[in-house]
Amino acid sequence: MINFQQLVLASHNAGKLKELQAMLGVSVQLRSIGEFSQVEPEETGLSFVENAILKARNAARISGLPALADDSGLAVDYLGGAPGIYSARYADGKGDAANNAKLLDALKDVPDDQRGAQFVCVLALVRHADDPLPILCEGLWHGSILHAASGEHGFGYDPLFWVPERSCSSADLAPLEKNQLSHRARAMALLRQRLGLA
């Protein structure tokens, strides 16, 4: 068991901070990297794993605290896994609405049976910037891409992601329910086990 009272989250995304803190529970305080720096590291990795480790090391270096990074995104089967690691920047950094519009356009005439997709989350935890043994946990959430947005909750691609086990979009789910089903929840459950919090 590894004991952390505080972890710095390598993200400026307030939605992600809130979601991950809820999943971690009260025994570990999650702090935003935004408290220490506004500079985002360049994500030069070619996989979710590489980028998660890169972000965790950077956050640990800047904050002096153990760091947790999440690299996540949407991998659409028909698009060969795109937008993948470029999910947040799919529409050249113009935000969620633009990303969703671009994805719908890319899948314009694609039939339902070819619209399979999965949300992917890789969590990387490092005790310090040069930790030779980062803890890595992966979560996958399988679904498909809708033809139009649905739902009011969540962020990112949630309004377009159909959740077959609930027959609704990810954005139709209440936050508490999403936090039990999502790719992030699955990765976090593994991390909680590794940290002896489960």
- The residues that are catalytic are 71
157 in a known ligand binding site: yes
153 is in an annotated binding site: no
Q: Is 78 annotated as a binding residue?
A: no
Nearest one of 172, 178, 177 to 146, comparing CA atoms: 172
Judge whether 93 is annotated as a binding position.
no
Phi, psi of 120 (to 5 degrees): -120, 135
Q: Is 183 annotated as a binding residue?
A: yes
13 known member of a binding site: yes
Going from the C-alpha of 190 to that of each of 24, 49, 83, 103, the distances in angstroms are: 11, 15, 25, 30
Residue 108 labeled ligand binder: no
Q: What does the DSSP assignment read for 78-116? A: GGTT-BGGGGGGTTTT--HHHHHHHHHHHTTT--GGG-E
Instruction: Decide: 149 and 168 in contact? Cβ < 8 Å.
Output: no
Nearest by Cα to 31 from 61, 66, 2, 3: 66
Check the annotation: does 72 bind a ligand.
yes
Q: Is 16 annotated as a binding residue?
A: yes
- Contact between 87 and 99 under an 8 Å Cβ cutoff? The reply is yes
The span from the CA of 59 to the CA of 124, in Å, is 11
Positions at the binding site: 11-16, 42, 71-72, 155-158, 178, 183-184
**Annotated binding-site residue numbers for Mg(2+):** 42, 71
Q: Which amino acids are annotated as binding site for substrate, given as ranges?
A: 11-16, 72, 155-158, 178, 183-184
